[in-house]
Amino acid sequence: MKTDPRELASSAGEQLHRFHGGLRLRHNKKVSCQQPVERPPLPTRLYLPLLQHRGTPATPLVKAGDRVLKGQLIGAAGARGAPVHAPTSGVVLGLEEGPIGHLTGQAGTRVVLEPDGEERWTALQPLADWLEQSPEVLRRHIQAAGIVGLGGAVFPTAEKLASGQAAPVETLILNGAECEPYISCDEMLMREHPRYIVEGARMLRRAAEAERVVIAIEDQMGAVHKALDRAARQLGAGSVSVVRIPKIYPEGGERQLIQTLTGMEVPAGSHPHELGLLVMNVATAAATRTALKEGKPLLERNVTVTGNGVQTPRNLLALLGTPVSHLIACCGGYSDDVARLVVGGPMMGVPLASDASPVVKGTNCLLALSQDDVRAPQPEMPCIRCGDCTRSCPAQLMPQDLHFHIRSQQWDALATLGVESCIECGCCDFVCPSHIPLTNWFRYGKGELRELQREREAAEHARERHEARTARLAQAKAEKAARLARRKAKLADQDGRKQQIAAALARAKAGRGNTPEDADS
Both 399 and 279 in a single domain?
Answer: no
Three-state DSSP class for residue 84: strand
Classify residue 444: in a domain, yes or no.
yes
Classify residue 415: in a domain, yes or no.
yes
Element (H, E) at 199: helix 194-208
Smallest Cα–Cα separation from 338: which of 297, 301, 310, 317? 310
Residue 489: its pLDDT value, please? 81
In angstroms, the CA 417 to CA 396 distance is 11
Number of helices and strands in the chain (H, E): 14, 16
Three-state DSSP class for residue 123: coil
Both 300 and 380 in a single domain?
Answer: no
pLDDT reading at 11 higher than 50: no
End-to-end C-alpha distance for the chain, whole angstroms:
111
pLDDT single digits (tens) 74-89: 999 987 889 999 999 9
Predicted TM-score (pTM) of the model is 0.85
Q: What would the mean pLDDT of 381-397 be, rounded to a whole number?
A: 96
Q: Which DSSP state fits 128?
A: T
* Listed ranges 47-61, 277-291, 369-383; the one with the highest mean pLDDT: 277-291
Classify residue 345: in a domain, yes or no.
no
- For residue 320, the Cα-to-chain-centroid distance in whole angstroms is 18
Q: What would the mean pLDDT of 406-435 be, rounded to a whole number?
A: 95
In angstroms, the CA 318 to CA 153 distance is 19
| 16-34: b (≥16 Cβ within 10 Å) or e | beebebbbebebbbeebbe
Both 297 and 384 in a single domain?
Answer: no
List the single range of 27-31, 169-173, 433-437, 491-495 with lowest mean pLDDT. 491-495
Give the CA angle between residues 261, 264, 269 to the nearest 5°. Answer: 125
pLDDT reading at 127 higher than 90: yes
CATH number at residue 220: 3.40.50.11540
User: Per the omega criterion (within 30 degrees of 0), is the bond before 250 cis?
Assistant: yes
pLDDT reading at 207 higher than 70: yes
How sure is the predictor about 501, in pLDDT bands with cuts at 50, 70 and 90? confident
Residues contacting 161, CB < 8 A, separation 6+? 135, 139, 142, 204, 207, 208, 278
Domain count, the chain: 2
Question: Between residues 496 and 119, which one has the greater pLDDT?
Answer: 119
In angstroms, the CA 360 to CA 283 distance is 14
Single residue among 258, 280, 306 that ends a domain in this structure: 306
- Contact call for residues 309 and 337 (beta carbons, < 8 A): yes
Give the CA angle between residues 472, 474, 476 to the nearest 5°. Answer: 65
Strand order in the sheet with 240-245: 240-245, 212-218, 171-176, 277-281
Classify residue 509: in a domain, yes or no.
no
Domain limits at 420? 375-481
In angstroms, the CA 393 to CA 399 distance is 8
pLDDT reading at 447 higher than 60: yes
Both 174 and 299 in a single domain?
Answer: yes
Q: What would the mean pLDDT of 458-482 be, rounded to a whole number?
A: 91
Residues contacting 299, CB < 8 A, separation 6+? 70, 71, 85, 86, 87, 88, 319, 320
Single residue among 255, 288, 306 that ends a domain in this structure: 306
**Which CA distances in Å does 436 have to 378, 389, 400?**
9, 10, 10
Of the chain, the percentage scoring pLDDT greater than 70 comes to: 94
Burial label for 65, CB within 10 Å (0-12, 13-18, 19+), is: exposed
Classify residue 17: in a domain, yes or no.
yes
Both 396 and 294 in a single domain?
Answer: no
Both 380 and 472 in a single domain?
Answer: yes
Classify residue 47: in a domain, yes or no.
no
Element (H, E) at 141: helix 135-144
Q: Which DSSP state fits 307?
A: S
